[in-house]
Structure 1
Amino acid sequence: MGVLFDECARRHTATTVRLDRPFDIAPDGGSTYAVDELAELVRTAAGWLAAAGAGRGDRVAIVKDNHWDYDLLACAAVRVGAIPAQISAHLSTAALEQLLKRLDAAVLVTSGGVAASCAEDGLDLVSAARATLLLDGYAPGALSLDDVRGQPAPAPRLRPDDDPLVINHTSGTTGVPKLVAHSTRTIIGQLARFESTRMPRIGVRPDDTVVNASSYAHGRTFCWTAVALSMAPRDLVILSRPEPDLADPMLRAHPPTIVEALPAAYVGFRPLTERLDNPFRRVRLFISTYDAVHPPTVRTFLNASAHRSPLWMQGWGQTETGPLTFRFHTRRSLTGVKGSSARHLGWPVPGRTRLRVVDPDTFEPVRRGHPGLVLARTAARCLDYPGESERWEAKRRGPWWNTGDIGVHHRDGHVSLLDREVDRTPQLSCLETEDVLEDRIPQAQECVVLGRTDEPPLPVVVTADGTLPTGAWRRAIRGLPTMQEPVPLTWEQVPRTGTGKVRRALLLEQLTGDTDRPGTGRWT
């Protein structure tokens, strides 16, 4: 990854990268780049890191505003032999402080705005690493770009394929995120190499315009960067801000043929499909990761495409494992199927992943078609949880990995997800109930069902104005298990992770003052 952009430039990769705003590491560099220009930017950043003191085996923490230059900085760190740790600035200051303590980084790369925001909450970022490099502004004790400019990039320093390559973190829906270490063999050799295969219908073509709207601090985009550059589409369009009005001009100027976006970004982009110049008309492949997308959203985008047979590819996996299953949706598979569940996650990747469902108490296998704790087996499993190795060991059972999810392995081999173990409740599947409610409540942007220990589940309905007519709710719950009266909220009132996932424990605490959840939480 340290020489990825150099190698693509030597192959004369003709991809043009188009940004919705300039990089934070090159604010005067414009919004359009050729691959050789990106290679030069990575080399320049490698010189900065070397001048700041990053060397072979050191950890380099990256905490900044959301943009694809997270991955450029990571590649620069790899180039000097260091281990990049990409951490979202969306995290709470308390969570960020804990992760930085676990890392004990040699260099921290951040921005003046992030440092100032943390200072207001009592965290001195400048002292969180042996050296701190500010991408903008000045702070006592920190290095500025003026202090490190002009340092030539050292020659690439390769490290063994099984050594740590990159550190990312989980979404953090259940509390402080876990740091996850991957090697070249796991995240590149197992995941990126497989995804770079030119498969019919879903492979990237030379004439494609690929759009990504993601959280670039996460491992998915580090892997995606390797894939996207090696597949060499005509255009790569990077959306760093999920707001539909900000993304709309880029989407209309460069109508995509492939879109990968966070589930929350798809929800935000739905109003764009109703405009006369619908920017999704050329899309042949939609890709969603991180979390399942509810059926109404999938239908909206498939119907917005003018392509003869567009596909929606839904992947389920974890930061620790990469994708474990895939499922494809078509217009026909979703047409007229009200109440269908996106929790049908598809089938394990043939020859690459295996799944086993066990009793959560005894870990004995359960019969097909019965719910249990899902274990996964994959060569792409992460190396460790840095700073929490005992937690990693607790989730490893020989070659099997405890996902912490409750699911069903059906007789035909497909897997359906019921709930996270910490959220499971005997009355119903919270996740499947959410799918049904979203299908039945047209004005709902999102539905969240929160399990309670000794009470019926508490439903939350997210709408544009934070209101929900009583009649709409009464019609929606016909035939469903008993729940409490719904709490209508706006999108902004719901606490979320950097990837847009609902922080269920925090939401429950905000609404009830109660932090007690029905599951054990042993494997979060």
Structure 2
Amino acid sequence: MGVLFDECAERRLGTQVHLDRPFTLGTDTRTHYTLPGLAALVRDAAGWLSAAGAGPGDRVAIVKDNHWDYDLLACAAVRVGAVPAQLSAHLSGEVLGTLLSRLDPALLVTTAPVLERARREGTDPAAAARATLVLDAAVPGTLHLDDVRGHAAPGPHRRHDDEPLIVHHTSGTTGVPKLVVHSTRTLVRELARFESVRLPRIGVRRDDTLVNASAFAHGRTFCWTASALSMGPAAISVITTQDPNLADPVLRAHPPTVLEALPASFVRFQPLTEGLDNPFRRVRVVISTYDAMHPPTVRAYLAASRHRSPLWVEGWGQTETGPLTFRFHTRRSADAATRGSRTRNLGRPVPVKTRLRVVDPDTFRPLPRGRTGLVLVRTAACALGYLGEQDRWAAKRHGPWWNTGDIGRRNRDGSLDLLDREVDHTPRLSCLRTEDLLQTRLPRALECVVLAEPGHDPLPVVVTADGVLDRARWKEAVRDLPPLREPAVLTWDEVPRTGTGKVRRGELLRRLTGRSATSGSGRWT
């Protein structure tokens, strides 16, 4: 990964890269790059990191606003032999301080706004590192780019495939995120290499325009960077905002043929699917990871494409394992899902790469197909461990099997139905399936969330653009569902979220009720 951009430039792949706004990295205000230009930027950044004191075996923490230069900085750190740790700027000051304490980084790479916000919240991130490099301003007691600019990058440092390569954190929907350590073997050889195969219909082509609107501190995009660049598409566009008005000009200037985004971005961009001149009319493949999508959203994007048979590729996995199952949606299957048919079916295990097992949560004995239990997986892509929490990691290992902490069941055809996270699960209903039904029955809802709480009926939360819900329509929507409390109606910005847009369910429950007890045990979160 330290020489990825160099190797792609040497192959003269010709990929053009377009950004919705300039990188934070450096003082360049360009929004268009060639691969040689990006390779030069990574080499320059490697020189900066080396001059700031980062070297082989050191950890380099990267915390900044959301942009693809997260991955450029990570590749620069890998080049000098360091282990980058990509941390989201969405983390609270307290949580960021906890993770930095576990990391004990030699170098913190950040921005002035991140430092200022964390300090207002009672945490000084710079105190956790031997040195701090601030990318966008001069901050007393830290290094600025002017202090390190112009230093030549050292020669690329090689490491063993099983040594730590990079650190990512989990989403943190249920508490403080875990720091997941991946190696070259688990992340590059097992995940990125598999994704770089030109599979029929879904494989990246030379004439494709790839658009990614993601959370670039997440491990998914580091893997995507490796596979997307190596496939040599005609163009790559990077979108860092979830504001549809800001994303629309970029999408129209470079209409995607392959689209990948956060679930929250898909929801926010959905109004752009309307109209004959919508920016998604050339899309042939949509890729969705991180979280399951509500069927009406899937249907909207497939209907917006003028391609004869567009595909929605839904992958389910975790930061610790990468993709575990996959499922294809067509226009026909999306229509069926919208009518309530198997809305949380996540498809089959990745061929050759993954095995699944559903077990009794108390005894860990395998359950027959059709029975509900705890989902275990077996994959060679499983990470090396949790930094600073190896006991927690060991508690989630069951021999060669990894405990996902999810409740589901295997169907006769081998596919997996996901019902809930174990920590959120209640025998009364599946919160996830109920959310899908409500989303389908409430067209004005941007999102529906069902919160399970011990001793109480589940609490539904309906997110609308204006925070208003038609009560008559609500009563019609829940007419045949198990008992639910009166809904809380919120706007999008009133819902606490992770850096990937996932709802922080525990925090939302605490804000609405003053209580935080969960229905599940939470032993495997």
Report 1:26-45 matches (<5 A). 26-45=26-45
Q: Distance in 1 between matches of 2:37 and 2:343?
A: 41
1:129 aligned partner: 129
Contact 2:173 2:504 in 1 (8 A): yes
- Cα distance, 1:119 vs structure 2: 1.4
- The one-letter code sitting in structure 1 at the alignment partner of 2:391 is E
Contact 2:71 2:222 in 1 (8 A): yes
> What do residues 189-246 of structure 1 show as CA deviations (whole Å, max 9, x unaligned)?
0000000000000000111000000000000000000001000100000001121111
- The one-letter code sitting in structure 1 at the alignment partner of 2:285 is L
Q: Distance in 2 between matches of 1:13 and 1:242?
A: 30
Contact 2:26 2:135 in 1 (8 A): no
Contact 1:295 1:341 in 2 (8 A): no
- Report the CA distance shift for 1:381/1:167 in structure 2 as closer, same or farther (over 3 A): same
SS at match of 1:360: coil
Q: Distance in 2 between matches of 1:126 and 1:112?
A: 11
Task: Answer yes or no: is 1:328 the counterpart of 2:290.
Answer: no
1:106 aligned partner: 106
> What do residues 51-79 of structure 1 show as CA deviations (whole Å, max 9, x unaligned)?
01101010000000000000000000000
- The one-letter code sitting in structure 2 at the alignment partner of 1:503 is R
1:149 aligned partner: 149
- Cα distance, 1:334 vs structure 2: 2.1
1:406 aligned partner: 407
Q: Distance in 2 between matches of 1:232 and 1:147?
A: 35
Q: Distance in 1 between matches of 2:403 and 2:361?
A: 10
> What do residues 378-397 of structure 1 show as CA deviations (whole Å, max 9, x unaligned)?
00000010011111111011
2:438 aligned partner: 437
Contact 1:339 1:440 in 2 (8 A): no
SS at match of 2:348: strand
> What do residues 23-47 of structure 1 show as CA deviations (whole Å, max 9, x unaligned)?
1003424000000000000000000
Q: Distance in 2 between matches of 1:513 and 1:17?
A: 47
- Cα distance, 1:341 vs structure 2: 4.3
Report 1:426-505 matches (<5 A). 426-505=427-506
1:287 aligned partner: 287
- Cα distance, 1:333 vs structure 2: 1.1
SS at match of 2:426: coil
SS at match of 2:386: coil
- The one-letter code sitting in structure 1 at the alignment partner of 2:277 is D
- The one-letter code sitting in structure 2 at the alignment partner of 1:358 is V
1:216 aligned partner: 216
Percent of matched pairs sharing the same residue: 67
SS at match of 2:500: coil
Q: Distance in 1 between matches of 2:136 and 2:341?
A: 49
1:22 aligned partner: 22
> What do residues 74-117 of structure 1 show as CA deviations (whole Å, max 9, x unaligned)?
00000000000000001111111100000000000000111111
SS at match of 1:24: coil
Contact 1:60 1:106 in 2 (8 A): yes
Q: Distance in 2 between matches of 1:342 and 1:287?
A: 17
- Cα distance, 1:363 vs structure 2: 0.7
Report 1:306-345 matches (<5 A). 306-335=306-335, 337-345=338-346
- The one-letter code sitting in structure 1 at the alignment partner of 2:301 is F
2:54 aligned partner: 54
Contact 1:340 1:435 in 2 (8 A): no
Q: Normalization by structure 1: what TM-score?
A: 0.99
SS at match of 1:431: helix
Tell me the number of residue pairs that the alignment of Structure 1 and Structure 2 aligns. Answer: 524
Q: Distance in 2 between matches of 1:487 and 1:120?
A: 31
Report 1:369-408 matches (<5 A). 369-408=370-409
1:365 aligned partner: 366
Q: For structure 1, list consecutive stretches of 5 or more residues without a partner in the other structure.
A: none
Q: Normalization by structure 2: what TM-score?
A: 0.99
Range with bigger deviation, 337-346 or 281-290: 337-346
Q: Distance in 1 between matches of 2:115 and 2:182?
A: 27
- Cα distance, 1:276 vs structure 2: 4.8
- Cα distance, 1:339 vs structure 2: 2.2
